[in-house]
Amino acid sequence: MLTDVVSRRADFPGLFTADGRPWHYLDTAASAQKPQVVVDATAQAIGVDYATVHRGVYARSAEMTLAFEAARRKVARFIGGQEHEVVFTRGATEAINLVAHSWGGSQLKAGDRVLLSTLEHHANIVPWQLLRERTGIAIDVCPLTPDGRIDLDAAERMLTPAHRLVSLAHVSNVLGSTLDVARAAALAHGVGARILVDGCQAVPRLPVDVAAMGVDFYVFSAHKLYGPTGIGALWARAEILEAMPPWHGGGAMIDRVTFAGTTYAPPPARFEAGTPAIVEAIGLAAAIDYVEALGVAAIGAHEMALTARAREELRRLNSVTVFGPDDAAGIVSFALDGVHPHDLGTILDEEGVAIRAGHHCAQPLMDHLGVPATARASFGVYNDESDIAALLRGIERTKRIFG
């Protein structure tokens, strides 16, 4: 399984330096490199196939509309939903803002509570704080277990009938810890709350089935799934979407407009005002084809094996603290004693190794870990042991430089 996937480095034109040497890209959790098939599909869509969607009476536009809607069907199938339940957004951030604004703004009121967790990305914190300012809801924060998982036993104790929403990351973008989504959904539903799952770091590495997991909302971004930037998806159960008011107004989301008033299109069009990200949707569909041909489970297993190896090797260095659970999915955060992660990242860059250094848009988690920042290596379908070896060489050099 491992070796099949390892050979995929050659599929990615971005994984080589200008002089043709391999680039040790360990920042897939921030954004994945794109396989040539996605580059080609995108170029074709913006080139010879290009036309707008949903409006043109000419054949090219009708064909593009078919391709665009086929991309929606592909997204739905990929995560186990129905096509009319998939709203294209600019990404996960916009999808969560959409839910907070439309669903939260219409369904929640002062005194209602939302449960988040310590490890959430800012994209799953700030929209709820904005909603809190508008409506007076309260936000509770579920703690983590000592090894960095969302503590669902604690969540069970915290949840009350006042909780209307539980909103949690499926996989942590810092620690790689994976949520037991089915249990979280059962806990939320047990008190009558809805559950939103931030699937940004899960869809590239775990098979996802929203129906089997029993969630109400699921969001992700295409660019972490080997697809283009500028597009992502909100999936929500049909009856929930039906009851949600529009949030952005404009073309494409209406039924009938007069100056006296406007009626709205049914979902998903109701939530897609303006000309959509047509080319990006085609690119996302190509990315899903690419990932499905390899198998998401196989990609996830490949990354987990690399992550386990990296954790083991990093621990051997003594001067390194490794965060997160031993079964982390594709992501490992660590700290090198006496060296700021930014300095480490800069020296690694000189060695042709790209990691992320910073707070990873998870400042509350940094506060919890007691550090201002971490270094993070994250793996993708193209990584192999040579990337780990290069990372370790770079860390050793950094240690020598810093004495």
How many other CB atoms sit within 10 Å of the CB of residue 146?
Answer: 7
Residue 218 Cα distances to 119, 211, 298, 392, 402, angstroms = 17, 10, 22, 36, 44
Give 278's contacts (C-beta < 8 A, 6+ positions apart): 45, 50, 52, 53, 64, 68
Q: Whole-angstrom Cα distance, residue 205 to residue 152?
A: 22
Q: Is residue 121 involved in binding ligand PLP (CB under 6 A)? A: yes
Single out the catalytic residue among 39, 238, 265, 361. 361
Catalytic site includes residue 361: yes
Cβ atoms 172, 200 nearer than 8 A: no
Please, what is the minimum distance in Å from the beta carbon of residue 68 to ligand PLP?
20
Q: Is residue 335 involved in binding ligand PLP (CB under 6 A)? A: no
Closest to ligand PLP by CB, 204 vs 394, is: 204
Residue selected from 173, 177, 178, 378 as contacting ligand PLP according to rule CB under 6 A: 173
Site for ligand PLP in 61-120 (CB under 6 A): 91-93
Q: What are phi and psi of 77, to 5 degrees?
A: -65, -40
Cβ atoms 59, 188 nearer than 8 A: no
Please, what is the minimum distance in Å from the beta carbon of residue 161 to ligand PLP?
28
Q: Which of the ranges 140-148, 193-201, 283-291, 302-310 carries the binding residues for ligand PLP, by CB under 6 A? A: 193-201
Q: Whole-angstrom Cα distance, residue 393 to residue 140?
A: 42
* Residue 138 amino acid letter: A
Cβ atoms 52, 194 nearer than 8 A: no
Helices (H), 80-151: 92-98, 105-107, 126-135
Residue selected from 27, 85, 112, 198 as contacting ligand PLP according to rule CB under 6 A: 198
Cβ atoms 68, 61 nearer than 8 A: no
Q: Is residue 169 involved in binding ligand PLP (CB under 6 A)? A: yes
Please, what is the minimum distance in Å from the beta carbon of residue 58 to ligand PLP?
34
Closest to ligand PLP by CB, 116 vs 155, is: 116
Residue selected from 117, 167, 221, 398 as contacting ligand PLP according to rule CB under 6 A: 221
DSSP, collapsed to helix, strand or coil, labels residue 304 as: helix
* 84 DSSP assignment: G
Closest to ligand PLP by CB, 201 vs 398, is: 201
Q: Which of the ranges 198-206, 250-258, 285-293, 371-379 carries the binding residues for ligand PLP, by CB under 6 A? A: 198-206
Closest to ligand PLP by CB, 383 vs 398, is: 383
Site for ligand PLP in 292-331 (CB under 6 A): none
Closest to ligand PLP by CB, 104 vs 227, is: 227
Please, what is the minimum distance in Å from the beta carbon of residue 361 to ligand PLP?
6
Residue selected from 53, 71, 200, 225 as contacting ligand PLP according to rule CB under 6 A: 200
Please, what is the minimum distance in Å from the beta carbon of residue 29 to ligand PLP?
6
Task: Please identify which residue in the block is written with the tokens 């992320």.
Answer: 356
Please, what is the minimum distance in Å from the beta carbon of residue 151 to ligand PLP?
18
How many chain residues are in contact with ligand PLP, going by CB under 6 A?
A: 12
Closest to ligand PLP by CB, 169 vs 339, is: 169
Please, what is the minimum distance in Å from the beta carbon of residue 172 to ligand PLP?
7
Q: Whole-angstrom Cα distance, residue 240 to residue 228?
A: 28
Element (H, E) at 6: helix 2-6
Provide the sign of the torsion angle of the four alpha carbons 377, 283, 291, 19, taken in this order: negative
Closest to ligand PLP by CB, 11 vs 198, is: 198
Cβ atoms 53, 61 nearer than 8 A: yes
DSSP, collapsed to helix, strand or coil, labels residue 316 as: helix
Q: Which residues are catalytic?
A: 361
Contact residues toward ligand PLP (CB under 6 A) are 91-93, 121, 123, 169, 173, 198, 200-201, 221, 361
